[in-house]
Amino acid sequence: MAKPLWSEIASNSSPISFGGSARAVTPHDSTNLDPIAKAVNVTSVAGGDTLTIVTTDDSVVAYTGVTVGFSPPYHVKRVNSTGTTATVYTVD
């Protein structure tokens, strides 16, 4: 499994600190994010307002009615394409 980027960088970086970078997410039902995201953030709901994530312990969490700025309270291993219509960016 990929390691979280934030676990390997600056000594003042931690799982609860703000991220240092971001990137667009292409949802996929089997390809995990590499590195694991500290969080994901919804940036658009023009295509729909659903989001399905997989946490680092392989729990699948589905959200409906998400709005721009929504960020699930989990470290995110994958954003599934099935069940996701919102546009999402990572927080690394």
Could you report the per-residue pLDDT of 24-79, keeping only the tens digit for each? Answer: 999 999 999 998 998 999 999 999 999 999 999 999 999 999 999 999 999 999 99
CA 72 to CA 57: how far, in whole Å?
A: 15
Strand, coil or helix: what is 6?
A: helix
Residues 6 or more apart from 34 whose CB is under 8 A from it?
A: 2
> Is the link from the previous residue into 15 a cis peptide, with omega within 30 of 0?
no
According to the model, what pLDDT value does residue 5 have? 57
**pLDDT confidence bin for 1, thresholds 50/70/90:** low
Task: Evaluate if pTM is beyond 0.85.
Answer: no
Task: Please report which helix (H) or strand (E) contains residue 12, including its range.
Answer: none
Domain edges within the chain: 5-9+18-91
**What is the rounded distance in angstroms from the CA atom of residue 75 to the CA atom of residue 54?**
9
Asked whether the beta carbons of 64 and 81 are under 8 A apart, the reply is: no
Q: Express each pLDDT in 3-37 by its tens digit.
A: 555 555 554 556 666 677 889 999 999 999 998 99
Which residue bears the tokens 């960088």? 9
